[in-house]
């Protein structure tokens, strides 16, 4: 079994950290919600063209959403509306349907995704219609992906909208390599795993992010609870027929414990040692200045030197 297949299997079997992580795309900056079960994005995106004729279709909801059998309707231009059976992955928030027949090349389709309720709330979230055009070919080959190319980090202190507490969390910025698929790059789903860290079993990578792949050249962010140590991430992409790429080698960074100068917080792995020195030097300088003030005592009044009257 290839490493990409192993990571894809871990996504299905492992208990992910998604429910406690704010997962944000740099391009869309749309955070998961802890208060509303909104529909966040569709895969493929609305308006997509050349969608493979054997594609499955997905909608990603906020992680508090729960699926209670709400109907998902697939509309074909011939005037036939079909209620399609759906499956829901409550760890990733993905609602999935498989069209009952192969898509007709060149035809346009619309999926009416339902509004879902949230856990412990009867309030309905947002919904969306996905309109797309079928291509001429089926997707027959797995995608290729160069994996994560870089990682840097910083510490974020923000008010938690769910409880008004001040949350201090690590923000990891992940650069992504080139990705391709015979069904089109824009139809790929990105899955990110944490493969190393104080709370991660190295033999069981923990899924931390699932979303539609961002535009070529853009990265993603993963926000987690404050974790100090050697942190590694790996990623795969998956096409609309659930075929997965290989992952490439994990990319790692060493985090340090705050407080430190937040402006110096973003650092790739090879700069982590220098960041520790910045934090240590700042603390030493502050201590030296306080000691100097105590030694010299209070400043003399204006116009009066040491021993002046």
Every domain of the chain and the residues it spans: 28-133, 144-281
What is the pTM (predicted TM-score) of this model?
A: 0.73
d(CA 190, CA 219): 11
Mean pLDDT, consecutive 10-residue stretches, the chain (309 aa), reads 52 37 34 74 96 97 93 86 94 94 95 93 88 96 96 79 67 96 94 91 88 94 84 96 93 83 40 36 39 44 41
Q: 111, 133, 109: which is closest to 50 by C-alpha?
A: 133
Class of the domain covering 144-281: mainly beta
For residues 308 and 289, is the Cβ–Cβ distance under 8 A? no
For residues 32 and 63, is the Cβ–Cβ distance under 8 A? yes
Class of the domain covering 28-133: mainly beta
Quick one: pLDDT at residue 22?
Answer: 33
Q: Do 28-133 and 144-281 share a fold?
A: yes
């Amino acid at each position: 079994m290839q490493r990409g297949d192993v990571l894809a299997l871990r996504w299905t079997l492992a208990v992910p950290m998604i429910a406690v992580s704010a997962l944000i795309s740099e391009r869309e900056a749309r955070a998961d919600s802890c208060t509303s079960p909104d529909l966040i994005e569709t895969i493929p995106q609305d308006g997509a063209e050349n969608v493979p004729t054997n594609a499955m279709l997905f909608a990603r909801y906020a992680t508090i959403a729960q699926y209670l059998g709400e109907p998902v309707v697939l509309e074909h231009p011939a005037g036939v509306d079909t209620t399609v059976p759906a499956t829901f992955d409550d760890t990733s928030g993905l609602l999935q349907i498989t069209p009952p027949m192969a898509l007709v090349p060149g035809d346009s389709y619309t999926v009416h995704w339902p509004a879902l309720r949230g856990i412990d709330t009867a309030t309905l979230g947002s919904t969306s219609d996905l309109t797309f055009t079928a291509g001429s070919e089926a997707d027959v080959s797995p995608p290729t992906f160069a994996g994560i190319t870089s990682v840097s980090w910083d510490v974020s202190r923000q008010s938690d909208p769910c409880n008004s507490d001040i949350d201090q969390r690590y923000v990891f910025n992940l650069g992504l390599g080139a990705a391709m698929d015979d069904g089109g790059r824009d139809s790929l789903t990105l899955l990110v795993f944490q493969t190393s860290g104080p709370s991660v079993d190295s033999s069981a990578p923990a899924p931390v992010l699932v979303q539609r792949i961002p535009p070529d050249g853009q990265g993603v962010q993963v926000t987690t609870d404050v974790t100090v140590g050697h942190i590694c991430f790996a990623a795969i992409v998956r096409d609309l027929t659930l075929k997965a790429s290989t992952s490439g080698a994990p990319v790692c960074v060493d985090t340090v414990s705050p407080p430190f100068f937040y402006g110096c917080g973003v650092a790739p792995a090879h700069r982590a040692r220098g960041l520790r020195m910045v934090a240590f030097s700042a603390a030493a300088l502050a201590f030296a200045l306080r000691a100097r003030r105590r030694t010299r005592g209070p400043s003399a009044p204006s116009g009066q030197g040491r021993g002046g009257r």
